[in-house]
Copies of this chain bind each other. A is one copy, B any other.
Amino acid sequence: MKVGFLGPFGTYTHQAAYECFQDSITYCEKTTIADTIESLETLDYAVVPRENSIFGSVVETFDGLRSLKEGFILGEIVLKIQHCLVIKKGAKLADIDCVMSHEQALGQCRKFIAEHLSSAATFKTTSTAAAAEAVSRSKTLNVAAICSKICTTMFGNLELVEEGIQDEDFNYTRFFVLGRNSLIKPPSYPTYPTRALIRVTMRTTAADSETSFDLTEFLKILNLSVIRIDRRPAPLSITFRDMYFLELQSTSKEDLWPKKVEQSVSRIRDNGFLAESIGLW
């Protein structure tokens, strides 16, 4: 079994994928979110970021979902972005005089650096994973990296000094786990799924793009609990025609949920909308 993820190795998406699949699978790094989603044509699973608690929805992911050919969302992973201080095995914190990481991670750990590594110089790398690699390859013991925890499993000679050294404590990212189809279930897929994602293209009621359809009426037809709504322009279509992604939640754990979602999507179609269920978890 193989999972594609937004790479390179050592990213938080890699970490999220690892939390889901552990050592049961082969990890394949992809360069872009579009490539990761498209990798489902040949791989079994794909993991992509869906939203960050500070920066919001990941537009590239929703754009990939607009024209999803292969693939079905089968889970989500919520990861606390925990920056880690990592050194070479045998090194001592007191001897560190250079801390390396991506510019953003260095900025997010400013307080920790000022308090514990006040005499160390900071050095910017292209990614947090690149910093971990540089420390791993270093011939001296005076360098440290700020990176994700999974980097310590990638390089055998690294040691975790402290986890969660970022200044702010509310930085979370939510990831989607997609499968090649709806039948291939990831580990810990729930017995009774309680979530669903449906994709709907709005009706255009006038050619001049000025009149749009009433979403209040639309949700009445849907008649299920909607907990998140994201909007994107429908691909290759009439100007300002919207595509909505609606995340649904079951109000109880019950085996009728998949059927309820299916019936709801049918009801929407009967009312003249293009609609599809693209996830159930």
State the A residues within 8 Å of B (CB): 51-57, 59, 78, 170, 172, 174, 209-210, 212-217, 219-220, 222-233, 238-240, 242, 244, 249
CB <8 Å contact, A227 and B214: yes
Q: Is the CB of A231 within 8 A of B228?
A: yes
**B215 and A226 contacting across the interface, CB-CB below 8 Å:** yes
Residues in chain B near residue A232, CB distance under 8 A:
56
Q: Are B229 and A213 in touch, CB under 8 angstroms?
A: no
Question: Is the Cβ of B59 less than 8 Å from the Cβ of A233?
Answer: no
Q: Could you tell me the distance between the alpha carbons of A222 and B233 in the complex, rounded to whole angstroms?
A: 25
Given A231-B57, A249-B212, is A174 in contact with B240 using a C-beta cutoff of 8 Å? Answer: yes
* Cβ contact within 8 Å between B244 and A229: yes
Complexed CA–CA distance, A227 and B240 (Å): 11
Say yes or no: A216 contacts B224, CB within 8 Å.
yes
Q: Are B215 and A216 in contact (CB under 8 A)?
A: no
- Answer whether A229 and B215 are a contact pair too, CB < 8 Å, given A59-B56, A172-B240, A240-B53: yes
Minimum Cβ distance to chain B for residue A76 (Å): 10
Contacts of A174 in B (CB 8 A): 240
Chain B residues near A223 (CB, 8 Å)?
216
Does A56 contact B231, Cβ atoms closer than 8 Å?
A: yes
User: What are 15 A-B contacts defined by CB distance under 8 Å?
Assistant: A51-B233, A51-B240, A52-B233, A56-B231, A56-B232, A78-B210, A172-B239, A214-B249, A215-B227, A215-B228, A216-B219, A216-B220, A216-B226, A228-B242, A230-B231
CA distance A210 to B172 in the complex (A): 12
CA of A243 to CA of B111, assembled, Å:
29
In whole angstroms, how far apart are the Cα atoms of A238 and B209 in the complex?
37
Partner of A233, one of B56, B209, B214, B230: B56
CA distance A170 to B224 in the complex (A): 34
List of 3 A-B pairs having minimum Cβ-Cβ separation, nearest first: A212-B227, A214-B225, A215-B226
Task: Pick from B53, B210, B214, B225: contact of A216, CB below 8 A.
Answer: B225
Contact indicator B54/A233 (Cβ below 8 Å): yes
Residue of B nearest to A212 (CB): B227
Q: Hey, which chain B residues are within 8 Å of A240, CB to CB?
A: 51, 53, 172, 174
Q: A226 contacts which of B170, B214, B224 (Cβ < 8 Å)? A: B214
